[in-house]
Amino acid sequence: GENVEQHPSTLSVQEGDSAVIKCTYSDSASNYFPWYKQELGKRPQLIIDIRSNVGEKKDQRIAVTLNKTAKHFSLHITETQPEDSAVYFCAASINFGNEKLTFGTGTRLTIIP
Amino acid sequence: GAVVSQHPSRVICKSGTSVKIECRSLDFQATTMFWYRQFPKKSLMLMATSNEGSKATYEQGVEKDKFLINHASLTLSTLTVTSAHPEDSSFYICSARPGTSGRDTQYFGPGTRLTVL
């Protein structure tokens, strides 16, 4: 089955700087990669996703890049703000999300004011 | 749009009792719902995939007789933890995927924190 690894497990960034979180996946059939943000005790919220037919997607301060050959994808947050502090999970799925998601282990991001 | 609710949000029960958790998609029909378990400061572990009108598909290591799943309609799935024990205490989260073609995303419920005494 699919295995998703995520690094780093914790990340502290000065406010205004950029944060990068990286994930690798094992199943070359995976073609859908969402990123979720989870605040303490709350539900995961989708912040951005990407399909395997594109290499990059951007939404304001958030971007995701995908390298299918190397089987890794990354989340980039620019101009970080205190409200970006949360746990971020990457995930992978085959069949464009119609199948189950396999989650990474999470990254606790702390923005230092 | 794409709102998923869960009820209850928090439940405390005695060991040996059963607890039912409901997951509802409020503004879309969900042919597929997923049940996850999350331990403190850990990732989401998929327990089972719930398909409307058919039996759930359980992940390896998840006891189907202990975690009963019923997906009776396109907007409701239930998870029943039978004969709960303290080790079943956890945060249970459901997600639902809209059945509309092209919608890949799973939307998560707010979670249910189960504490078994």
B35 touches chain A (CB under 8 A): no
Contact B112, B10 (CB under 8 A): yes
- Taking only the tens place, the pLDDT of each residue in A58-82 is 999 999 999 999 999 999 999 999 9
What pLDDT was estimated at residue B91? 95
What pLDDT was estimated at residue A105? 94
- Taking only the tens place, the pLDDT of each residue in A82-101 is 999 999 999 998 876 667 88
- Taking only the tens place, the pLDDT of each residue in A4-13 is 999 999 999 9
Tokens of A8: 């780093």
Q: What are the Cα distances from residue A56, in Å, to A63, B105, B106?
A: 7, 18, 21
What would the mean pLDDT of A100-108 be, rounded to a whole number? Answer: 93
When CB atoms are compared, the residue of A97, A104, A108 closest to B106 is: A97
Per-residue pLDDT of chain B (117 residues; tens, 9 = 90+): 678 999 999 999 999 999 999 999 998 888 889 999 998 888 999 999 988 888 899 999 999 999 999 988 889 999 999 999 999 999 999 999 876 555 567 889 999 999 999
Q: Render A48-107 in DSSP notation, one character per residue.
A: EEEETT-SEEEETTEEEEEETTTTEEEEEE-S--GGG-EEEEEEEBSGGGTS--EE---E
Beta bridge partners of A90: A35
Best B9, B47, B97, B104 residue to mutate vs chain A (most A CBs within 10 Å): B104
The dihedral through the CA atoms of A56, B98, A85, B37 has a sign that is: negative
Q: Which residues of A touch B93 (CB under 8 A)?
A: 43-44
Q: Is A103–B34 a contact, with Cβ atoms under 8 angstroms apart?
A: no
- Taking only the tens place, the pLDDT of each residue in A25-67 is 999 999 999 999 999 888 999 999 998 888 999 999 999 999 9
Report which secondary-structure segment, H or E, holds A113: none
